[in-house]
Amino acid sequence: MKLFSCLMALLLFLLEAVPGLGLPKDTLRCVGYHGFCFHSKSCPEPFAAFGTCSRRQKTCCIDTTSNFHTCQDEGGHCVPPEIKCLQEQVGLCPHREWKCCTEL
C-alpha cells in the first residue's frame, strides 16, 4: 500500500511539474473550489454549475449543500480586487482573485 501511495504522489508531482501533462486551467480552478467535472451540460442535484472543465468540454459542478456557495447565492456581487468593498461576504466567485461583496 505504501508503494502505491508513493507512486501516486510521484505521478501527481510529474503532472504538475511537466508542462503539457498537467490539468487544464479550468479543471484546476474547478477542483480548487472543491468542484467535480461532469460530462453533461447540467449538474445533478444537489450540484450547481460553476464554470467548465477539460477545456470547456465538461461542466464544473459544486455541491450546494456544502460550505462552498457561490457569491450570488449568498446575495453578493463578485468584484475584482481593485474595487473596495464596504462589507465582504463568504462566497465563491468565478475568478479566484475576485472577492464577494454585499455592499460596494
Enumerate domains of the chain plus CATH numbers: 21-66 (3.10.360.10), 68-103 (2.20.20)
Of 74, 73, 93, 75, give the one whose Cα is nearest residue 83.
93
Cα 11 from chain centroid (whole Å): 22
pTM value > 0.95: no
Q: Which pLDDT tens digits describe the chain residue by residue (104 residues)? A: 455 454 455 545 555 554 445 788 888 888 877 788 888 888 888 888 888 898 889 998 887 777 666 787 778 888 888 988 888 887 777 676 788 888 76
CA dist., res. 100 & res. 104, Å (int): 10
